[in-house]
Amino acid sequence: MTIPSTKTEINEVLHNNIVEVKFTKVNGTTRTILATLQPEFIDNVATKNGKSTGSIKQTPDHQINCVDTEIGEWRSFRIDSIISFNVK
């Protein structure tokens, strides 16, 4: 899959899928995560953190906030740091 170019496009894909995202961290290392914004994963993070409901955190336009499905926690990455973006 080609890498979506806007925050709206990326969020739409993440709302409907689990995506393997490889990106460059601020410190220059690379990280690969299985990312999503599917409601059941957001709710699981909220439950894990002792909150009654999950919600998507607000981020700047150049940043994506998502749930890392492997660890069940919020993670974020910059759109311009994406190396690969593959729907699982």
Give dist(CA 39, CA 15) in Å, integer.
Answer: 8
pLDDT digits (tens, 9 = 90+) for 30-81: 999 999 999 999 988 877 777 655 556 678 999 999 999 999 999 999 999 9
The residue written with tokens 């409601």 in the block is 39
Look at phi and psi of residue 25 and say left if phi exceeds 0, alpha if psi is from -120 to 50, else beta: beta
Q: Partners of 19 in the beta sheet? A: 35, 87
Tell me the whole-structure pTM to 2 decimals.
Answer: 0.88
Collect all residues with Cβ–Cβ distance below 8 Å to 43 and sequence separation of at least 6: 53, 54
